[in-house]
């Protein structure tokens, strides 16, 4: 399948994401992101944690081509780009199935193919049986699952997550984290995940980046050594607490 | 992508089994649980109270010599509806007014939605046309109606024109409001996946605007009946509409038939309103929860 989104067209970009001195200054002079350089390879799951308004989401929007960076370059490898928004952004007039089929529809996927892709994605996120429900009758967690299923229909090789579980309660969030991990292990995409939950970042990621308050700079870079598959109990192990503590300390430094 | 779940299918949210009992679900339950009696009895009681008050004023409070001001309900029924000639006159003119209102409403919807869509697609169209839409709404239509008569004559089309003058604005503003208040996240979603202008309009903006469009339609529907009656008032020449009859009956102190004419024209308004509400339920009822439903 051809590449659907290019932040800056480059045919020879390595797989995954490459950020090269990406900077963003808004027209009003606010420096949102300053010189961000890092890369995300396939099979890597990188989380960015940072205080609210530090430009984390801006970085994702630049990657997806929704806004243009004022400096630097984002290289996007071959394959589709998946984007999961802060809100589920389901169309309320479409059923779960209709919503999950939307991207295939927009991308011109033949009807039979997108129906099949939608059903597989719906089953994968555990929404089987809810295909003909409208979003208004779904819980927050189920809406997010539908949103995830929608992105999965294009079988993205690179996946961007913009604080997708921020609005959910703790129990639902942890459950969705477990499921997202399972998905990541199966699909092996390159994941870039924005959050302000340290525990979520450490639990999911192969690597955690810490971003400072505005102007957003990457001030910390932590390898997460825990092997996959990760069990939910990992959250309560001393090594997990120790690493979370170090990320937290770095984050507190980022405010200063 | 194999279709074996990465997680057991039963492993849905804690909230999943009770999802139907969420905020939306409870309302649906209450609506389904509302019996026919509960829907009909309260307005019926109000109706009886109004009729009672009418009879009271007509028979007890008003002196015999003043009774023509408010004849009792049975007199209205006897004179206006049981007398064949009078009934035929009333219903013939009601039909004319109905036709003017419906054709005018239809044109208002087509022109109004078309204008709003054009405005939503190009800022310069909105900037050029919107002030005149507002002017349309703010100048007293009553003052314009005689002018319409002078220029277009006193035929059916000038009645329709008056209806459009009154009913167009709510269609334009509500449609435009709906088209422009699409969620930014939805716009981003369409931008990410190459949603062009037409795709965006058809698959995103128009469906999202439907509840607002129906709000406009409900207002326009009521206004169209008023417009048609106002047109009748001014265009005394030609075939009489229900408004023409009101004018005639008032000047002849034919109060029974005057009340009948008023009742008929407001029934027309109610019928049009109910038709739009029914259509709204059919089109957006499945997915849209009206705010008044979430009390």
Nearest chain A CA: its distance from B4 CA (Å) = 7
> What integer pLDDT is reported at residue A37 of this predicted model?
84
Buried b (16+ CB within 10 A) or exposed e, B94-132: bebbbebbbbbbebbbeebbebbbebbeeeeebeebbee
Q: How confident is the model at residue A105 (pLDDT cuts 50, 70, 90)?
A: very high
Nearest residue on chain A to B21, alpha-carbon basis = A137
- Total CB pairs under 8 A between chain A and B: 127
A191: left (phi over 0), alpha (psi -120 to 50) or beta: beta
Whether domain A1-80+156-256 has CATH 3.40.50.300: the reply is yes
Position with higher pLDDT, B33 vs A248: A248
Q: Where are the domains of chain A?
A: 1-80+156-256, 92-155
pLDDT over threshold 70, residue A12: no
Q: Which two tokens stand for residue A57?
A: 């989401």
SS3 of chain B: the string is CCCCCCCCCCCCCCCHHHHHHCHHHHHHHHHHHCCHHHHHHHHHHHHHHHHHHHHHHHHHHCCHHHHHHCCCHHHHHHHHHHCHHHHHHHHHHHHHHHHHHHHHHHHHHHHHHHHHHHHHHCHHHHHHHHHHHHHHHHCCHHHHHHHHHHHHCCCHHHHHHHHHHHHHHHHHHHHHHHHHCCCHHHHHHHHHCCCCHHHHHHHHHHHHHHHHHHHHHHHHHHHHHHHHHHHHHHCCCCCCCHHHHHHHHHHCCCHHHHHHHHHHHHHHHHHHHHHHHHHHHHHHCCCCCCHHHHC
Q: Which two tokens stand for residue B230?
A: 């106002």
Query: Model's pTM, two decimal places?
Result: 0.80
Q: How confident is the model at residue B32 (pLDDT cuts 50, 70, 90)?
A: low
Report CB contact under 8 Å: B22, A139.
yes
Q: How confident is the model at residue B157 (pLDDT cuts 50, 70, 90)?
A: confident
Calculate the alpha carbon distances from B262 to B180, B247, B267 in Å: 39, 11, 8
**Could you give the angle at which helices A140-152 and A170-187 cross, rounded to 10 degrees?**
10
Nearest residue on chain B to A87, alpha-carbon basis = B185
> What integer pLDDT is reported at residue B7 of this predicted model?
45
Report CB contact under 8 Å: B287, A172.
no
Report CB contact under 8 Å: A142, B3.
no
Q: Which two tokens stand for residue A70?
A: 């004022």
pLDDT over threshold 50, residue A24: yes
> What integer pLDDT is reported at residue B117 of this predicted model?
95
Q: Which of B135-149, B176-190, B264-278 has the lowest mean pLDDT?
A: B135-149
The minimal CB distance from B16 to the residues A66, A142, A187 is found for A142
* A:70-89 residues touching chain B, CB 8 A cutoff: 81, 83, 85-87, 89
Q: What is the ipTM for the molecules in this complex?
A: 0.85
Sheet strands (E) in chain A: 17-25, 31-40, 45-49, 71-76, 81-84, 158-162, 190-195, 207-211, 218-223
**Mean pLDDT of the A139-150 span:** 92
pLDDT over threshold 90, residue B211: yes
What's the rounded Cα separation, in Å, for the pair A145 and A130? 11
Nearest chain A CA: its distance from B42 CA (Å) = 30
Query: What does the mean pLDDT of chain A come to?
Result: 87
> What integer pLDDT is reported at residue B83 of this predicted model?
87
What's the rounded Cα separation, in Å, for the pair B230 and B244? 9
Q: How confident is the model at residue A6 (pLDDT cuts 50, 70, 90)?
A: very low
Contact predicate A5/A81, CB 8 Å: yes
Interface contact A167, partner B, CB < 8 A = no
Q: Which of A10-19, A172-181, B160-169 has the lowest mean pLDDT?
A: A10-19
Query: In 3D, which of B163, B279, B170, B166 has the Cα closest to residue B216?
Result: B170
pLDDT over threshold 70, residue A177: yes
DSSP state of A154: T
B241: left (phi over 0), alpha (psi -120 to 50) or beta: beta
Task: Read off the pLDDT of residues B102-149 as tens digits, 9 standing for 90 and up.
Answer: 999 999 999 999 999 999 999 899 899 888 888 888 888 778 888 888
> What integer pLDDT is reported at residue B216 of this predicted model?
95
**Mean pLDDT of the A123-143 span:** 91
pLDDT over threshold 80, residue B53: yes
* B:208-237 residues touching chain A, CB 8 A cutoff: 208, 210
- Output the CA torsion sign for B187, B193, B197, B201: negative
| % of chain B at pLDDT higher than 90 | 45
Query: In 3D, which of B81, B123, B113 has the Cα closest to residue B263?
Result: B81
pLDDT over threshold 60, residue B9: no
Residues in B closer than 8 angstroms to A96, CB to CB, are none
> What integer pLDDT is reported at residue A152 of this predicted model?
92
3-state secondary structure of A190: strand
> What integer pLDDT is reported at residue B145 of this predicted model?
81
């Amino acid at each position: 399948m051809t590449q659907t989104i290019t932040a800056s067209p480059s045919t020879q970009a390595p797989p995954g994401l490459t950020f090269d001195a990406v900077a963003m200054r808004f027209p009003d002079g606010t420096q949102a992101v300053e010189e961000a350089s890092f890369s995300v390879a396939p099979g890597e799951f990188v989380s960015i944690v940072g205080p609210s308004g530090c430009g984390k989401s801006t970085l994702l929007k630049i990657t997806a081509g929704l806004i243009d960076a004022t400096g630097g370059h984002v290289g996007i490898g071959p394959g589709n780009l998946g984007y999961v928004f802060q809100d589920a952004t389901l169309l309320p007039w479409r059923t779960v199935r209709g919503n999950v089929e939307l991207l295939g529809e927009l991308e011109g996927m033949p009807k039979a193919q997108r129906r099949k892709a939608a059903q597989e994605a719906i089953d994968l996120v555990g929404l089987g049986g809810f295909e003909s429900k409208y979003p208004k009758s779904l819980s927050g967690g189920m809406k997010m699952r539908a949103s995830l299923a929608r992105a999965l229909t294009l079988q993205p090789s690179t996946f961007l997550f913009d604080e997708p579980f921020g609005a959910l309660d703790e129990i639902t969030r942890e459950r969705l984290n477990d499921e997202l991990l399972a998905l990541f292990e199966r699909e092996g995409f390159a994941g870039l995940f924005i959050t302000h939950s340290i525990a979520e970042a450490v639990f999911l990621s192969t690597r955690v980046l810490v971003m400072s308050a505005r102007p957003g700079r990457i001030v910390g870079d932590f390898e997460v050594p825990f092997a996959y598959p990760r069990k939910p109990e990992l959250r309560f192990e001393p090594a997990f607490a120790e690493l979370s503590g170090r990320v937290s300390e770095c984050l507190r430094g980022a405010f200063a | 992508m194999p279709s074996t779940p990465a997680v057991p299918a039963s492993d849905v949210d804690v909230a999943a089994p009770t999802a139907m009992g969420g905020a939306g679900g409870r309302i649906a339950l209450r609506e389904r649980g509302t019996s026919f009696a509960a829907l009909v009895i309260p307005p019926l009681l109000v109706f009886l109270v109004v009729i009672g008050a009418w009879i009271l004023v007509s028979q007890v409070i008003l002196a015999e010599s003043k009774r023509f001001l408010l004849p009792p309900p049975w007199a209205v029924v006897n004179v206006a509806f049981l007398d064949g000639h009078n009934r035929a006159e009333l219903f013939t003119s009601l039909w004319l007014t109905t036709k003017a209102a419906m054709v005018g409403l239809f044109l208002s919807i087509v022109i109004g939605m078309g204008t709003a869509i054009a405005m939503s697609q190009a800022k310069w169209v909105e900037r050029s046309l919107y002030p005149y839409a507002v002017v349309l709404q703010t100048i007293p239509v009553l003052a314009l109606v005689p002018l319409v008569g002078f220029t277009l004559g006193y035929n059916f089309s000038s009645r329709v024109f008056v209806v459009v003058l009154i009913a167009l604005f709510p269609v334009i503003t509500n449609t435009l409001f709906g088209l422009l208040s699409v969620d930014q996240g939805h716009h981003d979603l369409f931008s990410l996946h190459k949603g062009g202008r037409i795709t965006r309009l058809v698959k995103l903006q128009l469906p999202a605007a439907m509840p607002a469009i129906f709000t406009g339609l409900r207002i326009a529907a009521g206004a169209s009946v008023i417009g048609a009656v106002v047109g009748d008032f001014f265009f005394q020449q030609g075939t009489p509409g229900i408004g023409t009859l009101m004018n005639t009956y008032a000047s002849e102190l034919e109060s029974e038939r005057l009340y009948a004419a008023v009742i008929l024209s407001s029934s027309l308004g109610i019928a049009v309103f109910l038709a739009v509400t029914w259509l709204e339920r059919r089109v957006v009822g499945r997915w849209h929860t009206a705010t008044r439903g979430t009390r």
